[in-house]
Structure 1
Amino acid sequence: MLNIAYVGFGKSTNRYHLPYLKIRQDKFKVARVVTPTLGKRPEAQAELEATGTLFSTNISDILTDSSIDLVVVVTPSSSHYAVTKQLLTAGKNVLVDKPMAANLEEAENLVALAQKNQLFLMPYQSRRFDSDFLTVQDVINNGYLGRLVDLEVHMDHYRPNDGKAKGTAIDGTLYDHGVHLVDQVVSLFGQPKSVAYDLRATRLLESMVEDHIALNLFYEKAFKANIGATELATKAYPKWQIRGTKGTFVKYTVDEQENDLKTGKLPGSDNFGLDAPQNYGQLVYYNQSGDRIEKYLPSITGDYGRVYDSVYDTLVNGAPKLVSDEQMLTVMKILSAGHFGQSPQLVTF
C-alpha cells in the first residue's frame, strides 16, 4: 500500500481525485493533507480524519515525513512549479495537476531534478481515461479508418460572462482545456512537425488572456490534428471527428464522469460514467469487401482512477510511466511555443 499526501484540499482534490481512491483502498492510504485553511470542508475533512489522515497547514509536515510514498499537488496552476520543485528537492515522488509548469524551461527543470534524484514525476493527465478518448483510441487501433487524414477534437462551453481581464499564459485556455487535448493528441501521435496557432480573447476584447484556441498540428503522411476550444459555443460541435482513407468516426458528446461527479454520483456506483446509447459515436467505413458499413459504437467506459492505478504499477512494480518524460515535455513545448509570438503563427519543431 502507498501512503499519499495531498497539497491542496479544494474542489479538484475532492471531486476529481479522492472519489477514485475510495474504491482503491487496497492500494492507497491518504496519510496527510496540507491545506491553507483547515475546516473549509468540514465533512470531507472529518471523513478522512476518521481513517487516520493528518491535516495541517504547513508543507514541511510532508517534506519531513519519511513514510510518504507519493505527493499529489492540487494547488492553483501558478504554484505548480514551485511546489513540485520543493517536493522533488526533498526527495518526494510527485503527481502534479495540469499544467505541470508555466513553460517548457520550468518543465525541463522539474524533469531533470526528478531524473537526478531518481524520483517519480508525472502530470495528472486524467483525460487519457475519458470514455470518448478511449473509444477514439480503439477505433484508430482497430484500423477501421485506414490511413488517417484529419482529426478534430474540441472542448467547448457556453460561458459568455466568465472572461478574465488579467493574467498570464498559464491562466488562458491553452494551458487550461488545451493541455488535455494536446496531451491526448501527443499520446496518440507524438511530436508534430509544426503547429499553427490561433489564440484569441473573444469575451473581453481588451484582455491578454485567450479564451478561444485553434491549433493545427501537422504530421507526416499528410495527417493533421485540429484542436479547438471556445467559451462561446451555444450549439454543440462534435467532440471528435476523425477521417481516414477508409472511413469516418464522429462523436458529439463528452465523457460522463465529470457530470456524474458534479451531481454527487461516485465511482463504483451503478452506471457511473456510462454513455447513453443515443450518445454513442457513429462509425462509417468501407470493409475489405468494399461494403459500406454504418454503425454506432458503444463507448468504452472511462475511469480517471486508472491514472492512480498506473502510478501504483510504476512505483510498486516498475512499469513505465503512463505519461513519459518525452511526452510531458512535448506537451509543454507545444503550449509554450503558442505564447512566444503574435497569433496567428506557425511554429516548426
Structure 2
Amino acid sequence: MLNIAYVGFGKSTNRYHIPYLMQRQDKFRITRVVTPTLGKRPAEQQALEATGTVFSTDLNDILADDTLDLVVVVTPAPAHYITARQLLLAGKNVIVDKPMVETLTQAQELVDIARERNLFFMPFQNRRFDSDFLTLQHVLNAGYVGRPVELEVHMDHYRPNSATTIGGPIDGAWYGHGVHLVDQIIALFGKPTSATYDLRATRELGAKIDDQFEVNLHYPDAFKATVQATELATAAYPKWVLHGTTGTYIKYNIDQQEYDLKVGIMPGMPGFGDDAPQDYGQLTYFNPSGDRIEKVIPTIHGDYGRIYDAAYDSIANDAPKLISDSQMLAVIEILQAGFNEPAPHIVQF
C-alpha cells in the first residue's frame, strides 16, 4: 500500500485521477491533499476526509511528511516546474500532470535531481491508455498496413468563444493538447529526426496564445506523423488516419472515458469507457495473396488508471518506468522547439 498526496484539488484531480484511484484502494491510500482553497469542492473533500485524508493549504505539510510514497502535482501548468522541484528536493517520488514543464532545461534539471536521489519521477501521460491509441497500436503491431508511411492524429473541438489571449507558450494549445499527441507518437516510433511547425492563434487575431497547430514529425524510411488540433472544427474529422504500404486504418471519435467522466459515469460503472460499435475503426488492406479485405477493428478498452498501476510497479517492485526519461525529455524538446522562431518553420533534432 502506497501513501499518496495530491497538490491541487480541481477538476483534473477529481476527474482524471481520483476516480481511477478509487478502483485501486488495495494499492493506494490518499493521505493528504494540499489545495489553495479549502471547501471549494465540499462533497468531494468531505468524502475523502471521511476516509482519513487530511486537507490543508500549505505545501510544507507534504514536504515534511515522511510517510508519503508518492506525490501527484495537478496544479496549473505554469506551477509544475517549481512545485515538482520542491518535492524532488524534499525526497518525494513525483508524478506531474501534463505538460510537465515548459523548457528542456527545466525538464533535464528535474530528471537529474530524481536520478541523483534515486526517486521516481514521471509525467501523467494518461492518453497512452486512450482506447483509440491502444487500438491503433494493435493495428500497427499486427502488421495490417505493412510499413507505415503516413499517420495523422487530431484533437479537435468547437470552442469558438473560449480563447485565451495572453500568457506564455505553456498556456497554449500546442503545450496543452500537443503534449498528448507528441507523447503518443514518441511511444510508437521514438524521437523524430525533424519537425515542421505551424502554430497559430485563430479565434482572436493577434492573440499571443496559440489555439491551433499542425506539426509534422519526420522519421527515417519515408515515414511522417502529423499531429493537429483546432478549436474551430464544427464537423468531425477522423481521430486517426494511418496509411501504409498494404493498407489504411481510419478511426473516428475519441476515447469514451472522457465523455463518461464529464457526465459523472465513473470507472467501475457498467459500460464505462465502452466504444459504440458504430465508432469502431475501419481497416482496408491487402493480404499476402493479394485479396482486398475490409474489416472493422473493435476498440480495445482504455483505462487511464493504468498510469497508476505502472507507477506502483516502479515504486514498489522496481519495474522500469512506463515513460522513460529519454521519452519525457524528447516530448518537451519537441514542444519547446515550436517556439524557437515564428511559425511556420523547420527544426532538425
Q: How does 1:83-122 map to 2 (within 5 A)?
A: 83-122=83-122
Relative to the length of structure 1, the TM-score reads: 0.99
Give 1:38's aligned residue: 38
Consecutive unaligned residues of structure 1, counting only runs of 5 or more, are none
Matched, 1:303 2:303: yes
The whole-number CA distance in structure 1 between the counterparts of 2:32 and 2:266 is 22
Matched, 1:24 2:17: no
- Residues 150-170 of structure 1: per-residue CA shift (max 9 Å, x gap): 000000000111111111100
Supply the RMSD in Å over aligned alpha carbons.
Answer: 0.5
- Residues 66-94 of structure 1: per-residue CA shift (max 9 Å, x gap): 10000000000000000000000000000
Give 2:57's aligned residue: 57
**Match of 2:241, SS?**
strand
Give 2:267's aligned residue: 267
The whole-number CA distance in structure 2 between the counterparts of 1:269 and 1:208 is 42
Give 1:277's aligned residue: 277
Could you tell me how far 1:176 is from its partner in structure 2? 0.3
The whole-number CA distance in structure 1 between the counterparts of 2:121 and 2:42 is 31
Give 1:336's aligned residue: 336
- Residues 211-240 of structure 1: per-residue CA shift (max 9 Å, x gap): 010000000000000000000001111000
Q: How does 1:1-349 map to 2 (within 5 A)?
A: 1-349=1-349
The whole-number CA distance in structure 2 between the counterparts of 1:111 and 1:338 is 22
The whole-number CA distance in structure 2 between the counterparts of 1:29 and 1:80 is 23
**Match of 1:198, SS?**
strand
The whole-number CA distance in structure 2 between the counterparts of 1:172 and 1:37 is 25
- Deviant stretches of 4+, over 6 Å: none
The one-letter amino acid paired with 1:207 is A
Could you tell me how far 1:136 is from its partner in structure 2? 0.2
Consecutive unaligned residues of structure 2, counting only runs of 5 or more, are none
**Match of 2:177, SS?**
helix
Could you tell me how far 1:110 is from its partner in structure 2? 0.6
Aligned residues, how many?
349
The whole-number CA distance in structure 2 between the counterparts of 1:272 and 1:291 is 37
The one-letter amino acid paired with 1:116 is E
The whole-number CA distance in structure 2 between the counterparts of 1:288 and 1:257 is 37
Could you tell me how far 1:342 is from its partner in structure 2? 1.0
**Match of 1:304, SS?**
coil
The whole-number CA distance in structure 1 between the counterparts of 2:96 and 2:282 is 35
The one-letter amino acid paired with 1:290 is G
Could you tell me how far 1:208 is from its partner in structure 2? 1.4
The whole-number CA distance in structure 1 between the counterparts of 2:22 and 2:275 is 23
Q: Percent identity?
A: 63
Could you tell me how far 1:31 is from its partner in structure 2? 0.5
The whole-number CA distance in structure 1 between the counterparts of 2:305 and 2:163 is 31
The one-letter amino acid paired with 1:69 is D
The whole-number CA distance in structure 2 between the counterparts of 1:102 and 1:226 is 21
The whole-number CA distance in structure 2 between the counterparts of 1:7 and 1:256 is 27
- Residues 21-52 of structure 1: per-residue CA shift (max 9 Å, x gap): 11100000001000111111111011001111
The whole-number CA distance in structure 1 between the counterparts of 2:340 and 2:347 is 10
Relative to the length of structure 2, the TM-score reads: 0.99
**Match of 2:331, SS?**
helix
The one-letter amino acid paired with 2:40 is K
The whole-number CA distance in structure 1 between the counterparts of 2:8 and 2:208 is 28
Could you tell me how far 1:293 is from its partner in structure 2? 0.7
The whole-number CA distance in structure 1 between the counterparts of 2:239 and 2:135 is 12
- Residues 265-291 of structure 1: per-residue CA shift (max 9 Å, x gap): 010111100000000000001112111
The one-letter amino acid paired with 1:142 is A
